[in-house]
């Protein structure tokens, strides 16, 4: 009787691991090309969505298509992921009791899938934000330091007729820990990422309040404080550019973060970082 039970268990285990080996088909076999472009989408957009909305339930599976904590696992599972996040039955993910994906976040999953299926076609990210801060004590001699953020989530109106209407109800969410000034391993990136933003705000939120052909008004929230900033609008071929300035970061109560940054690198900028920040956003017009 014991031998029969052991044989039965052995058969079950063989079937189980055979099934797993089928489910965990090599990502390279599924999508043999376009890794570079797909990895850009994964690292700059999709990874943060998975970490905030999926990983709490999908990091513990040892094998198969339910573990999403690496690029390769996500790559081999993206078809199933899309099916479940767009489902209307009881297989929908995330489940009702969990934080739900926004429509913009769902589009990021689709973008990742589309890139993997587009061979080696290059990918142009639809949204890019550059900021410039200024240092040195004498205004006429001050120098600019520019940077970006690697993790920006955004919602753009893709149903526009006129290019300017891509701004309708547009929103952004910026993970400030993803700041990048001179490369992710650079000293200035490390200083700002570890000595400024943790003492200021973990997320920057932006929402377009209104717009015309010439200007856009964007409401920013930092450190729990909101302020509207006026941007100039320029449309050049397939790019919509927004340029504006936050005149005084003190409005967002940045003093604690400013002072912390001073203790680390104040001597390198003459103990002066000017309170105005220039911003430039570029939005790809996809039609």
For 215-225, what is each residue's pLDDT tens digit?
999 999 999 99
pLDDT digits (tens, 9 = 90+) for 140-151: 999 999 999 888
Alpha helices in the chain (DSSP H): 2-23, 27-30, 35-41, 47-53, 55-58, 71-85, 103-116, 187-195, 255-265
The candidate with the shortest Cα–Cα distance to 205, out of 242, 172, 160, 240, is 172
Pair 197, 175: CB distance under 8 Å? no
pLDDT in the model for residue 132: 95
Higher pLDDT, residue 136 or 112 = 136
Pair 190, 173: CB distance under 8 Å? no
Return phi, psi of residue 285, to 5°: -85, 115
pLDDT digits (tens, 9 = 90+) for 27-73: 333 333 456 778 888 888 888 888 888 776 655 444 444 456 788 88
DSSP 169: T
pLDDT in the model for residue 64: 43
Domain boundaries, the chain: 33-123, 127-284
The whole model's pTM is what?
Answer: 0.58
pLDDT digits (tens, 9 = 90+) for 153-211: 888 888 889 999 999 999 999 989 889 887 656 788 889 999 999 999 999 999 999 99
Please give the CATH superfamily to which domain 127-284 belongs. Answer: Lipid/polyisoprenoid-binding, YceI-like (2.40.128.110)
Does the pLDDT value for residue 124 go beyond 60? Answer: no
Pair 115, 37: CB distance under 8 Å? yes
Pair 260, 196: CB distance under 8 Å? yes
Does the pLDDT value for residue 3 go beyond 50? Answer: no
3-state secondary structure of 234: strand
Please report which confidence band the pLDDT of residue 107 belongs to, taking 50, 70 and 90 as the band edges: confident
Average pLDDT over residues 116-126: 56
Pair 60, 53: CB distance under 8 Å? no
Which residues contact residue 239 at a Cβ distance below 8 angstroms, ignoring those fewer than 6 apart?
282, 283, 284, 285
- The single residue listed with the structure tokens 């002066």 is 272
């Amino acid at each position: 009787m014991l031998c029969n039970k052991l044989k039965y268990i052995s058969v079950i285990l063989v079937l189980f691991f055979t099934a797993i080996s089928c489910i965990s088909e090599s990502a390279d076999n599924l999508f043999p090309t376009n890794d570079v472009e797909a990895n850009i989408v994964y690292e700059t957009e999709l990874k943060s969505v998975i970490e905030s909305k999926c990983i709490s339930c999908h990091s513990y599976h040892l094998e198969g298509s339910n573990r999403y904590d690496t690029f390769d696992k996500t790559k081999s599972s993206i078809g199933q992921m899309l099916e479940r996040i767009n489902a209307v039955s009881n297989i929908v993910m995330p489940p009702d009791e969990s934080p739900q994906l926004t429509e913009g976040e769902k589009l990021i999953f689709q973008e990742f899938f589309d890139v993997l299926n587009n061979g080696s076609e290059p990918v142009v990210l639809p949204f890019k934000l550059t900021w410039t801060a200024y240092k040195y004590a004498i205004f006429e001699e001050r120098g600019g330091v520019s940077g970006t953020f690697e993790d920006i989530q955004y919602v753009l109106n893709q149903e526009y007729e006129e290019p300017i209407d891509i701004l309708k109800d547009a929103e952004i969410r910026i993970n400030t820990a993803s700041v990048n000034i001179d490369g992710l391993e650079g000293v200035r990136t490390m200083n700002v990422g570890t000595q400024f933003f943790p003492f200021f705000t973990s997320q920057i939120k932006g929402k377009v309040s209104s717009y015309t052909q010439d200007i856009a008004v964007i409401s920013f929230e930092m450190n729990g404080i909101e302020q509207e900033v006026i941007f100039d609008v320029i449309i050049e071929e397939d790019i919509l550019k927004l340029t504006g300035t936050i005149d005084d970061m003190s409005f967002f109560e940045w003093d604690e973060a400013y002072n912390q940054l001073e203790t680390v690198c104040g001597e390198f900028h003459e103990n002066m970082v000017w309170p105005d920040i220039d911003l430039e956003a570029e939005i790809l017009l996809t039609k």
